[in-house]
């Protein structure tokens, strides 16, 4: 479909304007993006086949695997803070740190714990876990190591077997323990206090039984550890209590001895000296208060007397019963005097008698007031004397108390030591009682919250997962093989491949002719199809080829056109025959010459019988052209077939007679088409290429190797042939479009313009 461009060779040879590096980068990008995609699309069938086969092999291998069942036991750990000297430490409390939980995981995987399970369940006699009891595998011959062991045994019979070497010195019980550990998994579930314990076995019942046995052994081991810890704690506390009891007795004895030696006996928590000092302080305070009160009364009384006031206002005077009685008598005399004064005069004897009595009572009151004041003064003296005596006693007691205080300091220290020893002793005594009571009530810090049960479905192999992974791996392998095959596949696939590999223009791509039957009920060959379907893609491609050849030299269009290929069976005869018939059908006078003297096939292509005279006879006997020309029964095409071969085809084809014949034909016909032999097997086409105007090189799509095509083009150039370009023949446009090549996509995109 593409017109030849004479400058293509020069551009390809001279390089692009961007330079070699730019061309290299473009090539790499093209390979990475389009080349790989096209290669994968092209090899989809291979990829699918390899993927299916490998996936089936994986499925078969998985089906032959020994199924394993998993027993899962879930254990819950309690969260208790461990103390140093309280009951929680004895009861095996556990910190909430992750390290503590990880430690319990390690305990579950300890050999001592698994040894108990092996002994309890007698797993040494289990062939599944004790390989010494297992029967030899019938597939051991497929293992290379088996043959190596046989060879080593033959060389050195005394040497131990290779499979025995890893455990040659290991006892059977230890080997079984290792086997159990290899089949069990202990994991902490997230950040919780839950531990998952799983065990795999060929028997679901055995898997559940061993998983539960390990969990039970762990709980029992924890209880035994608690009993041991409790026993050790009781023994230690008992020894410690004996020591503390002696310390308390000695400390209390030292306190009492010191108190007795220094006279520090106590009453109500105080020593005698402290009690006396306290009492004297209290008495002194009261005495001083009484002295102050007495002095205040005495001063007040003296002040009133010195100022001429009524001394009777003094509190002691007011409180005197004697003065109260005298005052009452004065009141009665005053009332009586008032009554008598109303009857008698002031000098009446009765009134005088009353006044005498009043004067006597006044004297008595005055004497009583004086006595009271004197009593107040005496009270002041007594209070002063008492205060002085108490102060003197207090000074004496303080002197004694100073000595006692020095002794009390040491006494207090001894008492503190004794109290501390007693407190520690009582604390340990209480702990000892608690541990003794709890010794028979031990409970584990763990509990099994989900016991393992026999599973009905195997956990290994996971058929879906294995087959899925196998499918993915098979797909990658298939893609790798497809890319590898594509890398080594050097067949020409598209017009761009032609221009890159051969440095020639791509003239046209001839699509494969659909399989349609003609009037005779047979499948129509391409040269018949183009007549039956003049508007088909095949016919249009031939017209495009003719246009491309004419445009290759507009001033002097080529008349002598040679069709050749690198190898046989690449479609050159079909292409040349179809091209010639299409040109004849368009009204041109065209002759088709069969120049393949070794394997002539033009007459068979058109369904003609083997002629009696042909090209060789024409050149040798100097016959007229009309004598050997055969008419195409379905068009105006003239055909010069070959009747018989010759011993030296290159000499015949390169002769002057051949050159004269071609000149005569060029003068008589509008177009002379030569169908020649392949280039690589013989040199016929190379010789002919020097006698024609243009040479059309035919390449079969997805079949012609690049190196073969390159070699053929190189040979033509050595003979200085005018190569018009390359025709890509027998192109399956549907596949080409599916592979991602542009030519096939164009045919599909423009299919509405064709009538196939």
Kindly list the structural domains of the chain, giving each domain's residue range(s) and its CATH number in brackets, ordered by start: 270-437 (no CATH), 490-753 (3.40.50.300)
Question: Tell me, what's the pLDDT at 423?
Answer: 84
Q: Please compute the mean of the pLDDT values over residues 210-235 and round it to a whole number.
A: 84
Question: Tell me, what's the pLDDT at 86?
Answer: 45
Q: What is the 3-state secondary structure (H, E, C) of 571-599?
A: CHHHHHHHHHHHHHHCCCCEEEEECCCCC
Please state the separation of Cα 744 from the chain's center in Å.
46
Q: Which of 74-88, 448-462, 465-479, 686-700 has the lowest mean pLDDT?
A: 74-88
Q: What are the Cα distances from residue 628, in Å, to 372, 406, 592, 643? A: 192, 158, 12, 9
pLDDT in tens, 693-706: 999 999 999 899 99
Residue 185, beta-bridge partner list: 198
Residue of higher predicted confidence among 635 and 312:
635
Question: Tell me, what's the pLDDT at 136?
Answer: 66
Q: Please compute the mean of the pLDDT values over residues 665-694 and round it to a whole number.
A: 96
Q: Please compute the mean of the pLDDT values over residues 159-174 and round it to a whole number.
A: 56
**Cβ-contact 595, 673 below 8 angstroms:** no
Question: Tell me, what's the pLDDT at 28?
Answer: 42
Q: Please compute the mean of the pLDDT values over residues 443-449 and round it to a whole number.
A: 78
**Cβ-contact 677, 687 below 8 angstroms:** no
> What kind and span of H or E run contains 730?
strand 723-731
Mapped onto helix, strand or coil, the DSSP state of residue 77 is strand
Question: Tell me, what's the pLDDT at 488?
Answer: 83
Strand order across the 671-675 sheet: 506-511, 723-731, 694-700, 560-565, 671-675, 590-594, 638-640, 630-631
Question: Tell me, what's the pLDDT at 140?
Answer: 55
The pairing of beta strand 69-77 with beta strand 446-450? antiparallel
For residue 144, the tally of other CB atoms under 10 A from its CB is 7
Question: Tell me, what's the pLDDT at 88?
Answer: 47
Q: Which of 170-184, 562-576, 590-604 has the lowest mean pLDDT?
A: 170-184
Tell whether the model's pLDDT for residue 712 goes beyond 80. Answer: yes
**How many CA atoms are closer than 13 Å to the CA of 726, on its beta-carbon side?**
32
Question: Tell me, what's the pLDDT at 12?
Answer: 39
pLDDT in tens, 369-386: 778 777 778 888 888 888
Question: Tell me, what's the pLDDT at 29?
Answer: 43
Q: State the average pLDDT for the chain.
A: 80
Tell whether the model's pLDDT for residue 209 goes beyond 90. Answer: yes
Q: Please compute the mean of the pLDDT values over residues 269-281 and round it to a whole number.
A: 69
Quote the tokens at residue 753.
Answer: 């313009």
pTM of the complete model:
0.54
Q: With bands split at pLDDT 50, 70 and 90, how would you rate the model's confidence at 403?
A: low
Tell whether the model's pLDDT for residue 739 goes beyond 50. Answer: yes
Positive or negative torsion for Cα 200, 202, 203, 206: negative
Cα 50 from Cα 383, distance rounded (Å): 131
H-only helix segments in 450-536 = 463-488, 495-502, 526-532
> Which residues are CB-neighbours of 215 under 8 A, at least 6 positions away?
73, 75, 197, 448, 451, 452
Question: Tell me, what's the pLDDT at 399?
Answer: 62
Cα 225 from Cα 231, distance rounded (Å): 10
The pairing of beta strand 506-511 with beta strand 723-731? parallel
Residue with tokens 């479609």: 571
The pairing of beta strand 590-594 with beta strand 266-267? unpaired
Residue of higher predicted confidence among 685 and 488:
685
Cα 502 from Cα 710, distance rounded (Å): 6
> Which residues are CB-neighbours of 259 under 8 A, at least 6 positions away?
265, 266, 411
Q: With bands split at pLDDT 50, 70 and 90, how would you rate the model's confidence at 554?
A: confident
H-only helix segments in 622-732 = 625-628, 649-653, 656-668, 684-688, 706-718
Cα 565 from Cα 569, distance rounded (Å): 9
pLDDT in tens, 40-76: 887 888 999 999 999 999 999 888 888 999 999 999 9
Question: Tell me, what's the pLDDT at 664?
Answer: 94
Question: Tell me, what's the pLDDT at 150?
Answer: 66
Question: Tell me, what's the pLDDT at 708?
Answer: 95
pLDDT in tens, 569-584: 999 999 999 999 999 9
Question: Tell me, what's the pLDDT at 85?
Answer: 40
Positive or negative torsion for Cα 187, 190, 195, 197: negative
Cα 231 from Cα 429, distance rounded (Å): 16
């Amino acid at each position: 479909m593409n017109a030849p461009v004479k400058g293509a060779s020069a551009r390809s040879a001279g390089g692009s304007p961007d330079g070699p590096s730019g061309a290299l980068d473009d090539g790499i990008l093209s390979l990475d993006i389009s080349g790989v995609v096209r290669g994968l699309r092209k090899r989809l069938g291979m990829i699918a086949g390899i993927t299916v086969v490998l996936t089936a092999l994986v499925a078969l291998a998985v089906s032959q695997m020994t199924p394993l069942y998993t027993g899962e036991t879930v254990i819950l750990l309690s969260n208790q803070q461990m103390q140093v000297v309280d009951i929680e430490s004895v009861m095996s409390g556990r910190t909430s740190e992750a390290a503590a939980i990880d430690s319990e995981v390690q305990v579950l995987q300890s050999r001592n714990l698994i040894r108990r399970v092996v002994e309890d369940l007698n797993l040494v006699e289990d062939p599944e876990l004790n390989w010494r009891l297992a029967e030899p595998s019938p597939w051991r011959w497929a293992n290379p190591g088996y043959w190596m062991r046989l060879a080593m045994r033959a060389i050195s019979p005394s040497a131990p077997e290779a499979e025995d070497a890893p455990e040659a010195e290991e006892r059977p019980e230890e080997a079984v323990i290792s086997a159990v550990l290899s089949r069990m998994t202990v994991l902490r579930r997230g950040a919780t206090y839950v531990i998952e314990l799983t065990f795999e076995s060929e028997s679901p019942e055995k898997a559940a039984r061993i998983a539960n046995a390990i969990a039970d052994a762990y709980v029992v081991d924890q209880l035994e550890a608690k009993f041991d810890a409790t026993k050790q704690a009781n023994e230690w506390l008992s020894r410690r209590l004996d020591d503390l009891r002696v310390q308390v007795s000695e400390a209390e004895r030292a306190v009492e001895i010191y108190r007795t030696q220094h006279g520090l006996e106590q009453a109500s928590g105080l020593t005698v000296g402290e009690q006396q000092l306290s009492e004297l302080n209290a008495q002194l305070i009261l005495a001083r208060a009484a002295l102050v009160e007495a002095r205040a009364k005495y001063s007040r009384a003296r002040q009133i007397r010195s100022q001429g006031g009524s001394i009777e206002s003094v509190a002691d005077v007011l409180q005197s019963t004697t003065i109260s009685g005298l005052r009452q008598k004065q009141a009665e005399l005053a009332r009586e005097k008032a009554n008598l004064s109303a009857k008698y005069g002031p000098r009446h004897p009765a009134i005088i008698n009353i006044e005498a009595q009043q004067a006597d009572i006044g004297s008595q009151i005055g004497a009583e007031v004086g006595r009271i004041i004197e009593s107040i003064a005496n009270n002041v003296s007594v209070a002063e004397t008492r205060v002085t005596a108490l102060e003197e006693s207090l000074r004496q007691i303080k002197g004694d108390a100073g000595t006692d205080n020095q002794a009390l300091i040491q006494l207090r220290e001894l008492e503190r030591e004794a109290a501390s020893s007693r407190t520690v002793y009582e604390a340990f005594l209480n702990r000892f009682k608690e541990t003794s009571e709890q010794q028979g009530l031990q409970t584990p810090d763990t509990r099994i919250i989900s016991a393992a049960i026999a599973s009905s479905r195997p956990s290994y192999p996971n058929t879906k997962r294995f087959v899925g992974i196998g499918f993915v791996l098979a797909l990658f392998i298939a893609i790798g093989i497809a890319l590898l095959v594509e890398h080594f596949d050097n067949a020409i696939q598209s017009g761009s491949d032609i221009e890159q590999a051969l440095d020639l223009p791509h003239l046209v791509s001839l699509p494969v002719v659909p399989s349609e039957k003609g009037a005779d009920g047979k499948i129509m060959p391409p040269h018949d199809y183009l007549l039956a379907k003049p508007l088909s893609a095949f016919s249009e491609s031939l017209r495009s080829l003719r246009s491309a050849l004419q445009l290759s030299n507009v001033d002097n269009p080529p008349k002598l056109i040679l069709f050749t290929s690198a190898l046989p069976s690449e479609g050159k005869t079909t292409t040349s025959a179809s091209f010639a018939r299409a040109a004849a059908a368009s009204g041109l006078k065209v002759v088709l010459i069969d120049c393949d003297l070794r394997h002539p096939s033009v007459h068979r292509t058109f369904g003609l019988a083997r002629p009696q005279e042909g090209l060789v006879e024409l050149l040798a006997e100097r016959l007229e052209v009309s004598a050997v020309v055969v008419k195409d029964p379905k068009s105006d095409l003239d055909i010069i077939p070959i009747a018989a071969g010759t011993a030296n085809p290159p000499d015949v084809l390169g002769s002057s007679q051949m050159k004269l014949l071609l000149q005569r034909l060029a003068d008589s016909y509008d177009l002379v088409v030569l169908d020649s032999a392949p280039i690589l097997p013989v040199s016929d086409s190379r010789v002919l290429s020097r006698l024609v105007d243009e040479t059309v090189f035919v390449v079969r799509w997805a079949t012609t190797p690049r190196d073969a095509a390159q070699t053929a083009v190189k040979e033509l150039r050595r003979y200085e042939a005018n190569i018009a370009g390359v025709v890509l023949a027998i192109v399956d446009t549907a596949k080409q479009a599916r592979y991602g090549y542009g030519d096939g996509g164009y045919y599909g995109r423009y299919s509405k313009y064709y009538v196939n």
